[in-house]
Structure 1
Amino acid sequence: MANGLDTVLATAKPGDGSAAGYESKGGSDVIAKLCRYFEEAEDQTYQARKVAERSRDYYDGDQWTPEELAVLKKRKQPALTINYIKRKVEFLRGYERRQRSDPKAYPRTPQHTDMADAATDSLRFVADQNDFDEIRSQVYENLLIEGFGGADVVVEEHPSGADVLIQYVPWDRLFYDPASRAPDFSDAKYKGIVIWMDKEEAYDLFPDRRDAIESTLSSVSLSDTYDDRPRFQWCDNRRSRVRIVQCHWYEGGEWMVCTYTKGGALIDPQVSPYVDEYGRSACSLILRSAYIDRDNNRYGDVLDMISLQDEINKRRSKALHLINMRQFWYERGAIDDVNKAKAELAKPDGAVEVNPQLQFQILPTNDMAAGNMQMLQQATIEMQATGPNAALAGKDPRDQSGRAIQAQQQGGSIEIEPIMDNLRQWTRDVYQAVWLRVRQFWTGEKWVRVTDSDKNMKWVGLNHPVTLKEELSTMPREEAEQLVQQMGLQPGDPRLEMVVRTENDISGLDVDIIIEEGPDVVTIQAEQFAQLADLAAKGLPIPPDAIIEASSLRNKDVILKEMRGEGEKSPQVQQLEAQLQELGQKYNELQQKADDNSAKNEIDMFKAQTGQYDAETKRLTATAPGMSPEQVIQLATQAFMEAMQGAGLMGQQPQQMAPPEAPPMPPQDMQPNPPTEAGFSIPEADFAGGMPAPAAADSGVGLPPG
């Protein structure tokens, strides 16, 4: 297809929603009403769209009108453009990119605490699949320049499942109810999308509606914003292109949707196939505006900078013209050729011949040029104070203290926070719509790939049916053996494939979606970290984990877990702890022999050596993540041998107390569990492929040894 909007217009197929009664009311009446909606929006938002187009022109550097350029050309005055508007907008766009973050879903009920992570993983998966960060930045650019923008959150179904799509809609492809006043268009009676499409493509997309397309091609009239370049209202006969509209409107307590053109419906009117959190029909278009005046016109930040930009351009152009030109007065007959005199005065070394006894004098214009330069300086200062200031942009030339720079940056961030908050609200609405689509259409088993750290990738199963075999493989060995004996399970027992529960069932999961971002969060976090670090440097007993928690370090959660001993232990460290436990048992045996002084001395010596080994084990636990397995084993073996020799145990049973061998390291490019055909990996159950035969002394079904 020509663009992504074609997919959006074709997502609602006939039969997706119920529209009982529309056939009996007459399809032509409905299409006529929808055409009136569109033409009403086009007519009553004309001034707002003109302002939006002008704002876009100024951002693009087109800041002189054709009439102004003609006058300047006649004067031979340069048309200078110093585009401060683009600098401001580009900084705000870059600032938004620095504020990007991932969504987080929080449960609304205690029983959904564990499942909220699955909702978070689903949202991030859909965002990554649709490159939502780029869509968000495009909408933010529309908010800054034109004043409004949005996206369409729809579902595209296919034989292997359903994909949630977030489709960016350019501002000049959107229309809305001109009576709407809410920033999120929640009070709009209708809103929609308009695109242009080649006739052949429209035939392919809507093969059974050729009559409506042909009827539209026979009508032509002029339009402006919703044009196809060149501008035609409902069709372009020269290239056989037709304008297609998808309108969402609220009627009878339901959101309706219809795709149509001037000649008739391409997809019949129907109830929207999407629902909100209460099960009611919902509009798929998520729109947002930056500012609204009292006439309901939407506008962005650029509008406030246009007059200052005009003054900068015109005063700079006028000052340069006054510096380069010469004005003069003369008595009639003083010069023979006025044009030749003007040309000579325009030269650095020009000379004018004046007839005798007649006056000729050059008029000074330095005062006018100086006045324009002074006013230009004032306008430039005003422009720099508008929006993000120089300190926030890191371009303040003054030599200031760090505290003064920080205060100015905080002041600048406060000024741009309202429009950033508008963007956050729109982002939250989009994620909320994504979650509702996921909950509505991902009814079967669905696996999503997420990255839980910088190096690890995992698969999360939604609506995953857990079989008895999988459930037993996750249970403790003793409990699993007991359950196997009670049920009398045998290898190949069909009951092992019985579904016992559904993991991450999202059909009834309610969550709150939080977007954690904004300059205030970063500033407060940096300030708290600096204060804690300063207090710790002065000797106050600040816990190290509190300093790490306040920092902006990546993976600080992993660091905190390691500091608190909550991290996963390597196999080498686990073996060391097992050997330490064995030494403890030997110590208890010697404790029982404490009847004479020699035994007590032996106990004291053994206790000292065991303590040394315990300290070495803890040290290895802390340093193991940065060491190779061979280094861990070597140090552990040395500490173990010293402890055993000091306790006098090595001469008794050396063959039993030898240090364990290092387990072989798997190749780096191999996965413990290869992915299945569906693209995800499932842990191998202890019962996969059959179960071991019962042990000789056990009449039940045994489990494989640990």
Structure 2
Amino acid sequence: MSFGIDHAKQQGGLPLRKLERFLDDIRVQPEWRSEADRACAYYDSNQITPEMRELLESRGQPILTHNLMAPAIDGVLGLEARTRADWVVRPDDDDSVEVAEGINEKLNEAARMTRVDKACADAFAGQVKCGLDWVEVTRGNDPFAYPYRCKRVHRNEIFWDWHADPDLANARWLLRRRWVDKDEAQLAFPSHKHLIEFACQGWDGFDTEYQLMQRDDLLGAYSDYTSTDMFLQDWWDSDRERALIYEVYYRHYVERPVMFTREGHVLEVDPRNRMHQALLASNRVQVRTMTFPKMRLAYFIGPHRLVDIPSPHPHNQFPYVPFWGFREDTTFVPYGLGRRMMPAQDEVNVRRQKLTFLLNKVHVVKDEDALAGNMSDEEMLDEFYRADGVVNLNPTRTTRNNNAFRVEQQTHVAAQQFSVMQEAQRIIQETAGVYSAFLGQESGAKSGVAIDSLVEQGSTTLAELTDNYRFARQQVGELLMAQVIHDLSHRPDVAVSRNVGKPDKTKVIVLNGTEGTGQPRTNLVTKAKLQVVLGDIASTPSYRAQVSQRMMELASSLPPDMQMVMLDLIVESTDLPKRDEIVKRIREMNGRGVDPEDMTPEQHAQMQQAQQFEQAMQQLGMAEAQEKVRKLAAEAAKLEAQAGTEQGKSKLGPAELRQLDASTEKLIAEMKSVIADVALKRSQLKFQQVGDSPMTA
């Protein structure tokens, strides 16, 4: 475990009295953690307290738990697993499109390597059970591991400004308590090795005069120890030799000049930054003095401050993201589904215990001389509890009727207990908004539409939980993206390979490009305007099956030719393996062509050969048409000359003239047809030569 950069001594920073004020604020906050622990214990089937267990044993009642909360909560956790979505980085302007694509690949790579899905799923479990859990997004310090880390943090380690908003955007402080072995703490803060040694000993044997000559910094730490109200046992475990470390993030408000660029960027003025100096000298930015918070980090071991530095993270937020369930309106106490389900769960356990006790309990009313021989009451009860028990009555008993010996069982009370227990079982699911159909169990609904409605109703009643989860998961993505962008901003020419949706097709994006001497860098990650959102939720398998079924029903009502047109869309809506390949082959068979980006080199060569052949055939057809035009023109000229000669020699008769006119009209019609055919072939050939001819399969 590492705690960040170790600074030997800091001036100013968070004083001890401020930490003590934070701890006092924690003490007066509403007590909710014991109920949260109890809700999680109920989920783990630890539903009987030691006091109740002792009472049941004294009464002779069975100790039974029938855990109905766990399956209902597991159903809600399964909803998160089924509807899990990846992060999508979207640009806020057209200039950031390629940067967004590159950052999107890097962010999702970081999500896979840091196992974000596991951390968020674990936090969602705490959110559902008890109302709150946390995810930490930070940098790792192991040089051999992945540079970033996303981990779930237990709710009892973190305390925060109680009056802040749920997203903690206006929280003044956040505190995490961690127990750390002494040797580990000394390695994490080597400049405070001696301080940690004395502090863990309760400053026994500390000679102020001697230490003042050796290390004057210890004198101030000793003064803090003597003036604080903290007790040593509150932050030091002598058996294990470990200390309680306080990790405190707090917002410190400052008043400093801020630059506003024409592109909409807001930067704090850094007089030592040459780029800032150039911007200020160019008068291309507006400068205003503003008041804003700066995040800082301090470490304490008991009353002793070890480190107080600016936040080591590239963002100005807490590195811990809360996953809220529900919150009380006035007290802001978090709670989950466990609070709603625990009363009914207690009812089920009590009724089950009483029901089992009543079914096994017998009341025997007898006279003292009712039993034969020397059978004692204990032996008689043992016989009653045996499957083949025999009890002999005294033939010489004083009372000869049933009043001398009778056995009573309270079966009517057992039936009432069973009825109440069933009602409590139903209440557990209803109070949580989780119905039997949602859990895949049998319900009163018979039709598929009714079952789907119950499932949808269960999802609707959990909308508050799922919305809070999506918001928290988006915050985790924003913090992780800030870490990714910070690292990429110091690296030039970062090549990112992006898959464009096809197994063998990738697109290479260069971030922070430096091509060209004297040219401005391209795709700068620090200037891009980006935001992290959750992608559209992949529909559940049942929903996709419904969509596919409806598309099939629609296609069945269409004519056969239209059914073939929709076949690829129907296959695309299913969960069939290799459905992309199936859709591709269907479209090839339908003659609608193939996307050139999806073609193999062999298919490209075949397409080029087909285009060359078609172009040659069109040229040949055009040459034949032109030859026909020439022949028809020559024949027309011949007829015209013949008509002129005949007219000069003698006048033709009516029959000859009509024949000549018919031949001329026929010739003219053929010429028009051939000329139109030639014009069409020329336009087709020209259209294909510019590369815009529609490609056929």
TM-score (ref. length: structure 1): 0.69
- Indicate whether 1:420 and 2:459 are aligned: no
Alpha-carbon offset, residue 246 of structure 1: 0.8
Of 325, 328, 340, the match for 1:304: 340
Matched, 1:23 2:28: no
After superposition, the C-alpha distances for 1:374-429 in whole angstroms (9 at most, x for unaligned) are: 11111112223333211112111557111111111111111122211111110111
Identify if the C-alpha distance between structure 1 residues 12 and 467 changes in structure 2 by more than 3 Å, giving closer, same or farther: same
Letter of the 2:97 partner, please give it. Answer: T
1:145-172 CA-to-partner distances (Å, cap 9, x unmatched) read 2211122222347989993332321222
Give the whole-Å Cα distance in 1 for the aligned partners of 2:21 and 2:195.
Answer: 17
Structure 2 residue aligned with 1:465: 513
**Structure 2 vs 1, CA of residues 156 and 343 (structure 1 numbering), >3 Å: closer, same or farther?**
closer
Contact 2:596 2:604 in 1 (8 A): no
Q: Secondary structure at the match of 2:417?
A: helix
Give the number of equivalent residue pairs. Answer: 551
1:566 corresponds, among 590, 595, 599, to 595
Q: Which runs of 5+ in 2 are unaligned?
A: 204-231, 254-292, 632-673
Higher relative contact order (CA 8 A, sep 6+): 2
User: Which residue of structure 1 aligns with residue 419 of structure 2?
Assistant: 374
Q: Which deviates more, 351-360 or 420-429?
A: 351-360
Deviation at 1:350, TM superposition (A): 5.1
User: How far 1:458 moved relative to its partner?
Assistant: 5.3
User: How far apart are 1:363 and its partner, in Å?
Assistant: 3.1
Q: Is the 8 A contact 1:216 1:234 kept in 2?
A: no
Amino acid at match of 1:40: D
* Residues 593-621 of structure 1 deviation map (CA, whole Å, 9 limit, x = unaligned): 54556999xx99xx9xx99xx9xxx9997
Deviation per residue, 1:335-384 (Å, 9 max, x gap): 89555554444444253767634844433311111111111111112223
1:197 to 2:180 alignment = yes
**Residue of structure 1 equivalent to 2:107:** 123
Structure 1 unmatched runs, 5+ = 1-5, 221-230, 469-497, 623-706
Q: Label 1:169 to 1:39 Cα distance change in 2 as closer, same or farther (>3 A).
A: farther
Say whether the 8 Å CA contact 1:125–1:449 is kept in structure 2: no
Letter in 2 for 1:465: G
Contact 2:514 2:520 in 1 (8 A): yes
2: CA distance, partners of 1:389 / 1:138: 23
Aligned to 1:660: none
CA contact (8 A) 1:103 1:515 kept: yes
For the residue of structure 2 that corresponds to 1:115, the secondary structure is helix
Q: How does 1:349-388 map to 2 (within 5 A)?
A: 349=389, 351=391, 356-357=398-399, 359-385=404-430, 386-388=432-434
Corresponding residue of 1:645: none
C-alpha distance in structure 2 between counterparts of 1:553 and 1:14, whole Å: 59
Could you tell me how far 1:206 is from its partner in structure 2? 1.3
Q: 1:169 aligns with which of 153, 156, 160?
A: 153
Aligned twin of 1:485:
none
Q: 1:89 to 1:121 in 2, by over 3 A?
A: same
Match of 2:251 in 1: 250
CA contact (8 A) 1:389 1:412 kept: yes
Alignment match of 1:207 (pick from 173, 187, 190): 190
User: Structure 1 residues 12, 56: closer, same or farther in 2, change over 3 A?
Assistant: farther
Flag the 1:592–1:522 CA change in 2: closer, same or farther, 3 A: same
Residue-by-residue CA offset, 1:422-445 (whole Å, 9 max, x unaligned): 111101111112222222332114
Does residue 11 (structure 1) correspond to residue 4 (structure 2)? The answer is yes
1:283 match: secondary structure: coil
Which of 114, 123, 128 is the equivalent residue of 1:144? 128
Match of 1:674 in 2: none
Task: Select the residue among 164, 168, 185 that pairs with 2:168.
Answer: 185
Q: 1:145–1:302: 8 Å Cα contact kept in structure 2?
A: yes
1:328 Cα deviation after fit: 3.4
Distance change in 2, residues 1:34/1:122 (3 Å): same
CA contact (8 A) 2:75 2:438 kept: no
Answer yes or no: is the 8 Å Cα contact 2:496–2:508 preserved in 1.
yes
Alignment-derived partner of residue 266 in structure 1: 306
User: Which residue identity does 1:114 align to in structure 2?
Assistant: E
Q: Which amino acid aligns with 1:23?
A: Q
Output the aligned Cα RMSD. Answer: 4.0
- From the superposition, tell whether residues 359 and 595 of structure 1 become closer, same or farther in structure 2 (CA, over 3 Å): closer
Separation in 1 of the partners of 2:157 and 2:519? 50
Does structure 1 residue 400 correspond to structure 2 residue 446?
yes
Counterparts of 1:356 and 1:217 in 2: how far apart (Å)? 81
- Report deviation, 1:240: 0.4
Deviations 1:546-573 (A, max 9, x none): 6577666788889589867434132223
Q: For residue 635 of structure 1, what is the aligned residue in structure 2?
A: none
TM-score for both structures, normalised by structure 2: 0.70
Which secondary structure does the structure 1 equivalent of 2:101 belong to?
helix
User: Which residue in the other structure is 1:630 paired with?
Assistant: none
Residues 158, 199 of structure 1: alpha-carbon distance in 2 compared, 3 angstrom cutoff: closer
Change (3 A) 1:416 1:204: same
What is the CA–CA distance in structure 1 between the aligned matches of 2:15 and 2:549, rounded to whole Å?
A: 64
Within a 5 Å distance, the mapping from 1:25-174 to structure 2 comes to: 30-38=15-23, 40-41=25-26, 43-45=27-29, 47-156=31-140, 163-174=147-158
Contact (CA 8 Å) 1:59, 1:86: kept in 2 or not? Answer: yes
Distance 1:189-1:592 versus aligned 2 partners, 3 A rule: same
8 Å CA contact retained: 2:470, 2:534: yes
CA 1:160–1:410 in 2, change beyond 3 Å: closer, same or farther?
Answer: closer
Change beyond 3 A, Cα 1:148–1:215: farther
1:586: how far off?
A: 5.5
By how many angstroms is 1:536 displaced? 2.6
Secondary structure of 2:513's aligned partner: strand
Is 1:430 matched with 2:476?
yes
2:545–2:574 CA contact under 8 A, matched in 1: yes
For 2:539 and 2:460, the matched residues in 1 are separated by 8
